[in-house]
Structure 1
Amino acid sequence: MSQTVTLDAPAPYFPELRAQDRASRLRMAALLPLLFSVIVALAVVLAMHGMNPERIFQLVPASPSFWVVFALFYLAGPFSEWVIFRRLWRLPVGGIVPLLRKLVCNELLFGYLGEAYFYAWARRRQTMMATPFGAIKDVAILSAMAGNGVTLLLVLAMVPLIQASDISLDHSSVLLSLCIVLVTSIAAMFLRRRIFTLPRAELRFILEAHLLRIVVTTVLSAVLWHMALPQVPVTSWLLLSTLRLLVSRLPFVPNKDVAFAGLAVFTLGHETNIAALMTMMASVILLVHVVLGVAIVLTDLVRHITGLTGGSSPRTEPEMPAS
């Protein structure tokens, strides 16, 4: 008696396999925040090596207004992104928390690792109607394009100053950097229909938000420097802040700190303590990154331990509302 082989026999097991696959993906998604926390913890340890917080605070102005302006300067980036994603996703006020996490990941670890974290966070929001990859990609690309556009304008405006001064900028490096900025910007505009996902109105809003953020952070950094060295006019700091933005955006200019120091000395003269001021500001920003990194690690650790013990802890990352 022959036995009939039916190809449809394994079908009843497919739903179980799909359920196991979904459960595995959920477990992996749940482990991602813990993985990011471990990486941030390692970055915090490395950043704290050799740091002297007491020495840093000795250089900081005693006025409380300095910290108010610094808070505005530090939060300008995350707040501008919150405004963008508020329009795109109706992101609640608590959405500023994952954006701060994104900032810390980018600054303490690698560029765009924060975007990877933010994408993982957005994917876990079950009420989101569409994939967040397109929106995060468009926001990141437009941020780079806004920076490139401002850099091009600054290069054109500062060419006479660079040529007439004896500063640490190699003209060939500046020219090569300018070519790279031009090529990437033109390529992005030429391929915009293939690169971008969002509608044109949304893209215009995002670009305007990035440009406004660049202007605000440039002005606020000048105000902070003026508070630290009030004998220097704020207009001079505005010029120096613009020059710093220019140097930081040029990809093939080596020793950006040395080049900026040369620009600062040429602009303000040798009598100002530029090196100490820039060291102080960089140290304060790094210290704030570290403090936020520690807070992120401790918060995630408490939530993870609470979850293992079966308790419930308040959510620090809000669910995405239905669009």
Structure 2
Amino acid sequence: MKLETVSAPLGSAAVPAPIGVPLVEQAPTSWRRWLAPALSTAILIAALAQLRTLDWRALIAMVPASPLFWIVFLVSYLIPPASEWVIFRALWALPGRGFLALLRKRLSNEILLGYSGEVYFYGWARRNAALVAAPFGAVKDVAILSAATGNIVTLVLVAASWPLLRDLNLGLSARLIGYSAAVVTAGSLLTMVFRKSLLSLPRRDLVMIAIVHLARIIATTVLTAILWALILPAAPLSWWLMLATLRMVVSRLPLLPNKDLVFAGLAAFLVGHRAQVTELVSLLAGLTLATHVLLGVGLGVSELAGVENRR
């Protein structure tokens, strides 16, 4: 087959592309050039604003001294961007520095606005990745399959945990859980019905993406259980694993009110120590936010400092 060549940045190899495949634009328009830096600025501002909301002394006082806790926490924090790096590495041969862009993508979603990270990563990919086609389709497909995979896992877990949720008398009516499950099911069904219109990647790539997302969900659930067990070792790890699974179910069902209270009730029923469990949840939420803030400041500054070098 006859090949064309995509113009690559100075010092990088040219990328062959089949005739008929849209090529990445050699000279991005002004808004594309400034899209990622603008979002990086927003991440930096949001991270600095969050600094005022954190009670650092109280947070540090609650943190366990065990090095194992920090190792597990950091691994669990890095798994989401690492899983996406694996996906885009397979799709685009994404370089190692793409991991930092995926970290910024997560921070944008967490401290700015949901799916703003996808906008940031799209802009970054247009400027930095030597691609044979526009990256929008791949970024879109990865986001859609992430939501769909999470929904499917949630439905399976709802079915498995329904007897426990029903018997705990936590204010969760069967009708409310049913409506929530219906919303989740509808989203997954729409993805399946309109997959040919919504998804643009080949079937083989879509299967790979779904498998990586599934592995991410399982890994983060298990690591969350291990973190809780390290903080409150009196309860068996199996109980915390059950709680981590149930927390995922409760957090993803869209119509349930007071989700933290529901989780506290589950924890009190299974392991007792309701006050300690509340502190545990607050600790991990605070540590995650603190990590967002510190990375947001560091990565925001580094991104903005390199803007001129990439123009």
Provide the TM-score with structure 2 as the length reference. 0.87
1:287 is matched with: 290
CA offset at residue 267 of structure 1?
A: 1.9
CA contact (8 A) 1:170 1:253 kept: no
In structure 1, how many angstroms separate the alpha carbons of the residues matched to 2:67 and 2:250? Answer: 30
- Equivalent of residue 196 in structure 2, options 175, 193, 197: 193
- Equivalent of residue 49 in structure 1, options 48, 52, 60: 52
1:248 is matched with: 251
CA offset at residue 234 of structure 1?
A: 0.6
- Equivalent of residue 278 in structure 1, options 281, 286, 303: 281
| TM alignment of 1:27-106, pairs within 5 A | 27-106=30-109
CA offset at residue 25 of structure 1?
A: 5.1
Letter of the 2:240 partner, please give it. W
1:179 is matched with: 182
- Equivalent of residue 139 in structure 1, options 137, 142, 158: 142
In structure 2, how many angstroms separate the alpha carbons of the residues matched to 1:50 and 1:203? Answer: 40
CA contact (8 A) 2:48 2:297 kept: no
| TM alignment of 1:88-127, pairs within 5 A | 88-125=91-128, 127=130
Letter of the 1:68 partner, please give it. I
- Equivalent of residue 207 in structure 2, options 196, 200, 204: 204
Structure 1 stretch displaced more, 60-69 or 48-57: 48-57
Structure 1 residues 270 and 171, CA gap change in structure 2 (3 angstroms): farther
1:321 is matched with: none
Runs of 4+ in 1 over 4 A off after TM superposition: 22-25, 304-308
2:259 matches 1:262: no
CA offset at residue 41 of structure 1?
A: 2.3
Q: Deviations for 1:32-90, whole angstroms, at most 9, x for unmatched residues?
A: 23311221123113322331122112111101111111111011111111111111001
Letter of the 1:220 partner, please give it. L
Q: Which runs of 5+ in 1 are unaligned?
A: 1-21, 309-323
Larger radius of gyration: 1
1:7 is matched with: none
In structure 2, how many angstroms separate the alpha carbons of the residues matched to 1:24 and 1:88? Answer: 23
SS in 1 for 2:128: coil
CA offset at residue 30 of structure 1?
A: 2.8
Letter of the 2:206 partner, please give it. L
- What value does the CA root-mean-square deviation take over the aligned residues? 2.0
1:14 is matched with: none
CA offset at residue 173 of structure 1?
A: 2.3
Provide the TM-score with structure 1 as the length reference. 0.84
| TM alignment of 1:158-173, pairs within 5 A | 158-173=161-176
- Equivalent of residue 153 in structure 2, options 138, 150, 155: 150
Structure 1 stretch displaced more, 124-133 or 79-88: 124-133
Q: Which has the higher contact order (CA 8 A, sep 6+)?
A: 1
Q: Which runs of 5+ in 2 are unaligned?
A: 1-24
Report % sequence identity. Answer: 44
SS in 2 for 1:237: helix
In structure 2, how many angstroms separate the alpha carbons of the residues matched to 1:258 and 1:92? Answer: 43
